[in-house]
Chains A and B, each alone.
Chain A
Amino acid sequence: MKRSLRLIWPALLLLIAVICLAAPVLNLSDPLKMSMGQRFAAPSYAFPLGQDEMGRDILSRLIFGMRISLFIALSTAILSGIIGTALGIFGGYMRGFSEIITLRAMDVVLCFPPLLLAMLAVTLYGPGPMTLIPVLSAVFVPGFTRIAYSSVLTVRSQDYVEAVRAMGASNGHIMLKTILPNIMGPILVQVSFVTAAAVVLESGLSFLGLGVVPPAPSLGLMIGTGGAAIAHQPMLLLWPCLALVAMILVLNGVCDLLRDWLDPRNAARGA
């Protein structure tokens, strides 16, 4: 794809983000309001995409569903990013015992397929966003740790790190002020990757009825109920599918773009 054309991804992401942020003031109808008389109603002026199996506004539910998905996914990416990066820098800079502990602990988390780890947690804590964010974060911490760790290994022996150390800076200062800014590129790429992956995982859990709790709108949940009503009204299934796939494609596009810009490994290959 041409370089300038690829800028469409961040533009689209911005558009989605603005719509999601502004959803409460967009004069949409209440996504939870049911009107049983208008179940499966066709699109109308008031309800541009029609009404679902309980007479709720599909468009409004799509937008609020994306809002919840993005909120959960971004919170997950930021939370796991902070924890994972901190662990990775600590292990990579301190070496020795802390290195072994952090890396081995990550290996253990990686033994579970992500979806299964999340399901185990849901069994114990019950579904809902307050379970989802910590659980999904736990799933994605190892990725950040590994990336931060390997980046630190290349950075820590650079002259500028030595120089700061020679000036008498403390370990904490070096890790936070010298090393962190220099490994930010790959970390940001991972943040965008995790956001996309968290959207997929969250929608999968919600689809199984183990993520976002009904009646709150969620794309995964809508696909689940839409699948049940497939004979009545296929659009009930197709709209949330389209919205979800569009959101994931946009996030993936942004991720690829960031990778080309920020990841030194690609820059070196001239990709």
Chain B
Amino acid sequence: MFWFLQRIAISLALLWVVTSLVFLSIYMVPGDPAELLLSGDGATPDPASIAQLRADLGLDQPILAQYAERMAGLARFDLGNSMVDGSAVSAEIAKRLPRTLELVAAAAVLSLLIGIPAGVIAGLKQGGRFDRMANFLAGFAQGIPVFVAGTIIILLFAQIWKLTPAGGFVAFTADPGKHIVLLAMPAFAIALGLAAIVFRIARASVLDVLPLDYVRTARAKGLPQGRIVARHVLRNALMPVITVFALNLGGLFGGTVLVEYVFNWPGLSGMLVSAVNSRDYPSVTAVILVISALFITLNLVVDILYGVTDPRVRK
């Protein structure tokens, strides 16, 4: 029990440090941050708008007061207002966050669906034609940046074969089929890298399990191959796969940023990219905070699941 509480406490502490760091980041720039944020294209901003922005961002208050206000705001899920149109950032995030989560979840499932069967088949027929080809493809998939994979998918499916639109978003309730097609393309682009990792681990893990005694016993009992693989090999080979999968899950959030942009998927990242471009500081920090919080929560959940499944971790 103490171990679990300790894990949760560490995550909360990390969350607090991250929030404070993001809060402080605006003070880490030399000069007046308000002036800096406004001087986008080399033009000198006029003093009135600088004063206005300083007041809007609360930069004219003492730093401790700003910090207290910021933290109190976070407790109310108030993430500040956009510098572009003054709307509440939290409302925009609430609208976009589920779409990003949907994309990440779809990518995670896809990577398992591709990686595990491929890894098991390759492991069972080590050195065979499938094994060699899959290994080659995995090396390739790991080397391709997500945005290149995304652009190539658009080039092939939308431009050359004209099978799909070049990206976008349709609500599931409006048109389920189209929603899934539009989801599948970016999800696949993100999943590729992780699928390659899952494949490698699954293959290696199957190779580790195959020569073990209980597999030989199962063979000797005369069990059919399918049953040996499903009952004896797969079950024992899956644990390392799940471990590595969980460790890499957080990385998917980084992948969504580029892929959402490529496919015009209206999730958090599209908001982030346009916010960075217009130097909309409150929106940028809010999105980064939300994603970092998700990242930390995900790692906490993975940690706790480990603790539950393997008590040795908890010492």
Chain B: minimal CB distance from A208 (Å): 6
Q: Main secondary structure on chain B at its contact with chain A?
A: helix
Chain B: minimal CB distance from A22 (Å): 25
Q: Which of A111, A123, A208, A230 contacts B295, CB < 8 Å?
A: A111
Q: Are B292 and A112 in contact (CB under 8 A)?
A: yes
**Given the complex, which residues of A lie within 8 Å of B272, measured CB to CB?**
116, 119
How many interface residues does chain B have, given as a range? 35 or more
Q: Are B154 and A116 in contact (CB under 8 A)?
A: no
Interface residues of A in 84-134 (CB under 8 A from B): 107-108, 111-116, 119-120, 122-125
Q: Are B14 and A207 in contact (CB under 8 A)?
A: no
Q: Are B291 and A113 in contact (CB under 8 A)?
A: yes
Q: Does B101 contact A (CB under 8 A)?
A: no
Interface residues of B in 1-50 (CB under 8 A from A): 14, 17-18, 21-22, 25-26, 28-29, 33, 36
Binds B, one of A45-53, A158-166, A180-188, A242-250: A242-250
Which residue in chain B gives the minimum CB-CB distance to A252? B143
Q: Are A124 and B147 in contact (CB under 8 A)?
A: no
Chain B: minimal CB distance from A9 (Å): 11
A244 with B25: in contact, given A123-B276, A208-B261 (CB under 8 Å)? no
A113 with B251: in contact, given A208-B261, A245-B143 (CB under 8 Å)? yes
Bound-state CA distance A239–B287 (Å) is 34
Q: Does B145 contact A (CB under 8 A)?
A: yes
A107 with B14: in contact, given A204-B147, A210-B276, A223-B148 (CB under 8 Å)? yes
Interface residues of B in 217-233 (CB under 8 A from A): none
**Given the complex, which residues of B lie within 8 Å of A227, measured CB to CB?**
151, 154, 262
Q: Does A200 contact B (CB under 8 A)?
A: yes
Interface residues of B in 155-184 (CB under 8 A from A): 155, 159-160
Q: Does A179 contact B (CB under 8 A)?
A: no
Bound-state CA distance A203–B149 (Å) is 13
Chain A: minimal CB distance from B94 (Å): 19
Chain B: minimal CB distance from A121 (Å): 8
Bound-state CA distance A248–B193 (Å) is 13
Chain B: minimal CB distance from A77 (Å): 17
Q: Are A249 and B140 in contact (CB under 8 A)?
A: yes
Q: Does B309 contact A (CB under 8 A)?
A: no
Bound-state CA distance A122–B36 (Å) is 12
Q: Does A55 contact B (CB under 8 A)?
A: no
Q: Are B143 and A248 in contact (CB under 8 A)?
A: yes
Q: Does B302 contact A (CB under 8 A)?
A: no
Q: Are B159 and A223 in contact (CB under 8 A)?
A: no
A230 with B152: in contact, given A111-B292, A200-B145, A244-B145 (CB under 8 Å)? no
**Given the complex, which residues of A lie within 8 Å of B18, measured CB to CB?**
108, 111-112
**Can you list 6 pairs linking A and B with CB atoms under 8 Å apart?**
A114-B254, A116-B272, A203-B147, A208-B257, A249-B140, A249-B143
List the 7 closest pairs (A to B, CB-CB), nearest first: A113-B254, A249-B143, A248-B143, A115-B254, A123-B284, A200-B145, A227-B151
